[in-house]
Chains A and B, each alone.
Chain A
């Protein structure tokens, strides 16, 4: 197999100098993608939480300002 590949003038199979940096791609790439994803998940959860709290607060405030509405409802 390798001999066959060696026959192709443009290819240089099993060259450790080329293979070594690709291992860096693997660990750095996977680490970075999961760090980005973790941060996005945290940011989304945080945003949703803050927005939900704000809406809850607004609702409560509106209820306190118009207590009659609750009675009528």
Chain B
């Protein structure tokens, strides 16, 4: 009868704790609707990989476990999964509001400040440079970029970084309003901005992804895999002749990749590695990165107001982070809360999509500087 007790005998204290963490992720996904497409597979995966003698994580070449295999092929060998997800994201994004007002692009750049500040802080706390860089990139508020950078720099904390990155993305509506209020005055929050829905020509929309890819490729070649896939997705959307492909990439394709990515990441959530004090530090640093991203964006908007005739509502700076479209929605809600007639959504979407591009470029820049 000994064989019936094998699992119990192999149980370690970390494993039940990880079941609880997995359960918490599933709870957040179902009950709180926080990034359910990702947190649910991650939560279930966390339980799967932390069952004693779990065959799904077997790294024996003759009996390679399914999650070990997916991780090796989809993430470790080529980073294919996060990159393919970027095609879907690119298809979902309408760059129209940004093309109407290109100076909003600056807010996307400034809202990456938290990444660099967090890298410095992580290094001060004692993380090695590769880990510090991958912790800082949590501030990109962009899951695929965080996965790609953490994987390429061979970070030891891929699991915690993923969990923290996606959890904080879902917490944007809680974190950002407090920071924005702290950095702005009531008068600034009441600034109204006109939105002239200028027609952006189809040719501009088609040329935009090509231009961005070429410029990023020339100045930050390491960002090309991320930016290239994002822009390829956008070209599919804007070309106008691949409607069904674009629709598939936005829905079915993205869903399949997200589902596989979520459960594959769980491979890195094995209790023995995950339950470390460093994980708590990474959580604190992730929050720090989000806060400083928001401050960077808001301060940039304020700085731009010193020189521009048409004032920018500084809250738009908060939408410069990559969490799309949550950050834009937060700004719209805050604007309407201050003044029911103050609609900032279209401007915020412009800043938000610029953050999407900027975070991918910064991911590549970090890789470029590091290697």
CA separation between A34 and B204, bound complex, in Å?
22
B201 to A, closest residue via Cβ: A51
**A10 to B281 Cα, complex, angstroms:** 12
Query: Total A-B pairs in contact (CB under 8 Å)?
Result: 124
- Using Cβ atoms and an 8 Å threshold, which residues of chain B touch A23? 120
A18 to B365, CA, bound (A): 18
| B37 interface contact, C-beta 8 A | no
Please name all residues of chain B whose beta carbon is closer than 8 Å to the beta carbon of A29 when the two chains form the complex: 112, 115-116, 362, 365-366, 369
Verify if A62 is at the interface (C-beta below 8 Å from B). Answer: no
With the chains together, A22 CA to B120 CA distance in Å? 5
Q: Interface residues of A: mostly helix, strand, loop or mixed?
A: helix
Interface range for A? 35 or more
Q: Is A24 an interface residue (CB 8 A)?
A: yes
Interface contact A26-B120, CB-CB below 8 Å? yes
Contact of B116 among A19, A30, A51 (CB under 8 A): A30
Interface residues in chain A, defined as those with a beta carbon under 8 Å from any beta carbon in chain B: 5-6, 8, 10-15, 18-19, 21-26, 28-30, 32-37, 39-41, 43-45, 47-48, 51-52, 55
Interface residues of B (CB under 8 A from A): 99, 102-103, 105-106, 108-109, 112-113, 115-117, 119-120, 123-129, 132-133, 136, 156, 200-201, 203-204, 207-208, 211-212, 215-216, 219-220, 276-278, 354, 357-358, 361-362, 365-366, 369
> What CA separation (Å) do A55 and B199 show in the bound complex?
13
B366 close to A47 (CB less than 8 A): no
